[in-house]
Chains A and B, each alone.
Chain A
């Protein structure tokens, strides 16, 4: 019994829960950045994320984007805007399923200037 308690205590002290959620570590363009052109929209996660929905909304409404990474769980999600993005404020909204099954969502803003 004593050994079991000691082993349990050792596990507790050294344990670091690693999974539980994966979150967007950083993005391209970076959140809050001002850029001249946008060639790719990237979301980087610390654990694989299945991005189930993503929308790019600009000054003239929603813009079509093409996913490069599809619906598979990825740590680096990439999508390309289908057309030139006029100057203005943009928001990217995304939804996803993390590897532990949690529904996740996030958004970030950036600005395009001429």
Chain B
């Protein structure tokens, strides 16, 4: 198939590590966004959002270090020995991943400030969220032309994605609380706007990478994107069911609504994991059709 790089164990490891890095970054960024948007949410829910953001930020730092080793192993062709080779690690540091790592690492450290209750802690963690989003515009396919449009699309895609992904676990908690319905209802209203942005900028970026319908069906990038879009369609279906059926049931005190909503949110989390794996595949081992 056109545009598919050789796949070995290190390439697979790189995909899983990158997907884990995406998940960590999105949950870490999503925490401050959630706390800032829903400041009047139940205390238990806000506490969970903060704790998850901090754990994800710390995990993100570990994954970032691991990814340096994995990339170093891949470019050296020496396996484990290459993963700790100072010269190879230096070359990775000099590459765009090094620049991105500085921004992402700083951002993930600033996100830890979400633990400090009050406006200053929140403002610092929101700045961290922005830095992590910017870090993803400094590496990979978003470095193509038109540079600024691609960077803006990736940044907006990540912020909108983080708002959703970071909210899933806190909303799962809220669905089990007697005063959680108002929060879920409000999330549904805001998310209908942010999800539209997420999908629109994602599709625009994909179109810039593909350039024609032929590129969609004849290449590894195109087929991976189709797989991602299939899971996204399922995720949007779940989200619509939650907003239009399950949250209204919760509001009207239907006794089975909390369990059904919580199950549905858990399925959303599984769908997000699959989407992140597809995205990591897209950005690791496939070449955008416009570059073939």
Contact = CB atoms under 8 A, between A and B. Distances in A.
Interface of A: 8, 11-12, 15-21, 23, 50, 52-53, 55, 71, 93, 95-97, 99-106
B33 to A, nearest CB: 25
B5 to A, nearest CB: 7
| Most chain B Cβ neighbours within 10 Å, of A12, A95, A100, A104 | A100
Chain B interface extent, by class: 35 or more
B287 A101 contact: no
B75 A96 contact: yes
B204 A97 contact: no
A12 B204 contact: yes
B194 to A, nearest CB: 19
Interface string B73-88: 0111110000000001
Interface string B99-123: 0100000000000000000000000
Given A96-B75, A100-B141, A105-B77, A17 B208 contact: yes
Interface of B: 5-6, 14, 71, 74-78, 88, 91-92, 95-97, 100, 139-141, 143-146, 149-150, 204, 207-209, 211, 284, 287-288, 290-291
Contact of B76 (A8, A93, A95): A95
Overall SS of chain B's interface:
helix
Given A18-B144, A100-B139, A52 B5 contact: no
A93 B14 CA distance: 20
Nearest to B70: A103
5 contacts: A19-B145, A21-B291, A95-B74, A101-B140, A104-B5
A52 B95 CA distance: 12
Contacts of A12: 204, 207-208
Contacts of A106: 6
A19 B149 CA distance: 14
A19 B74 contact: no
